[in-house]
Amino acid sequence: MSVVIEARDVTFAFGQTPALRGATISVDTGEIVAIMGPSGSGKSTLLHCLAGILVPDSGEILFDGARVDAMDESRRSSLRRDRFGFVFQFGQLVPELTAVENVALPLLLGGVHRRQALPKASAWFARLGLDGLEQRRSGELSGGQAQRVALARGLVAEPQVLFADEPTGALDSLTGEQVMDLLVSAAREQGTTVVLVTHEARIAAYADREVMVRDGRVNAPERIAS
Ligand code: ADP
């Protein structure tokens, strides 16, 4: 297995508040890794550093062997747009757009024409059990439906890495498990690597591997027996 993304001894502070104190993690291509740990331990900060949203104060972030931490904002922004997908706790759909336009957004931003982007986005609706909801706006979707739309948007451009920050955190447990089932099967089908932040053991259990973040550091990884 080849490593696709890694953090090496990364530190990051919000002003005087240290969030990461030397975090190291490495994720293989196609692997689904759950980053676990108590609230405030640094999970989201680690995900944001890996995804090129935050730049570490020290240490290195490598994606496909390239130093993400050394890239300027415009290169990191292109990397996020072209190679990464994102799903956040609250789907964060654009309320003015229809569901299918929301899913197509990463393609449209990547320069794909509407004529190609919309059919490609539509194909995800059947796949995720969202048939007939293409023209709804986010206010007309249930929480689980909106999060499945957000998942389709995260995967539509076939990213190399999908970053998911508490993607089921706002859902009831049954709906959350349905979203995780879909996330894992879609990622496996596409060969997408997934970095998932969660504080829930039952959600982390969907991953190939769990790592624990405590106090801004990553503890020894635990392999899940399969
Ligand atoms: P987790 O995702 O594990 O809950 P975070 O990465 O969000 O943890 O936070 C790690 C630490 O950084 C915490 O002490 C938190 O209070 C602090 N922190 C996170 N985001 C900010 C911010 N925007 N401004 C100031 N402090 C922050």
Say if residue 84 is exposed, middle or buried (CB neighbours under 10 Å; 0-12, 13-18, 19+): buried
Contacts 24+ apart (CB under 8 A), 2-5: 2/28, 2/29, 3/27, 3/28, 3/29, 3/62, 4/28, 4/29, 4/63, 4/64, 4/160, 4/161, 4/193, 5/50, 5/61, 5/62, 5/63, 5/64, 5/161, 5/193, 5/195
Q: Domain span at residue 211?
A: 3-217
Indicate the top mutation candidate among 10, 11, 17, 212 to test ligand 1's pocket, ranked by most ligand atoms within 8 A of CB: 17
pTM of the entire predicted model: 0.93
Average pLDDT (163-183) is 90
Q: Please report the atom of ligand 1 found closest to the CA of residue 48.
A: 6
- Angle, alpha carbons 43-157-136 (nearest 5°): 90
Element (H, E) at 123: helix 114-127
Residue 21 lies in a domain: yes
Residue 45 lies in a domain: yes
Nearest CA, atom 11, ligand 1: 19
Report the distance separating Cα 164 and Cα 22, nearest Å: 22
Indicate the top mutation candidate among 11, 12, 44, 50 to test ligand 1's pocket, ranked by most ligand atoms within 8 A of CB: 44
CB 213 within 8 Å of CB 46: yes
Count how many Cα atoms sit within 13 Å of the Cα of residue 108 in the half-sphere of its side chain.
13
* CATH number, domain containing residue 31: 3.40.50.300
Residue 190 lies in a domain: yes
* Chain segment 34-46, per-residue pLDDT in tens: 999 999 999 999 9
Residue 93 lies in a domain: yes
Indicate the top mutation candidate among 10, 12, 14, 20 to test ligand 1's pocket, ranked by most ligand atoms within 8 A of CB: 14
* Chain segment 94-107, per-residue pLDDT in tens: 999 999 999 999 99
State the total domains in the chain. 1
CA–centroid distance, 176 to ligand 1, in Å, is: 24
Tokens of 115: 């004529």
Q: What is the pLDDT of residue 220?
A: 61
Percent of the chain's residues with pLDDT above 70: 96
CB 106 within 8 Å of CB 85: yes
- pLDDT tops 90 at residue 127: no
Average pLDDT (53-61) is 97
Least confident of 87-91, 125-129, 173-177: 87-91
Tokens of 114: 């509407």
Q: Please report the atom of ligand 1 found closest to the CA of residue 197.
A: 2
Residue 195 lies in a domain: yes
CA–centroid distance, 45 to ligand 1, in Å, is: 7
Residue 224 lies in a domain: no
> Which is nearest to 134 in space by CA: 144, 117, 122?
122
* Chain segment 132-170, per-residue pLDDT in tens: 999 999 999 999 999 999 999 999 999 999 999 999 888
Residue 57 lies in a domain: yes
- DSSP string across 24-58: EEEEETT-EEEEE--TTSSHHHHHHHHTTSS--SE
Residue 207 lies in a domain: yes
Ligand 1 proximal residues by C-beta, below 6 Å: 14, 17, 19, 37, 39-45
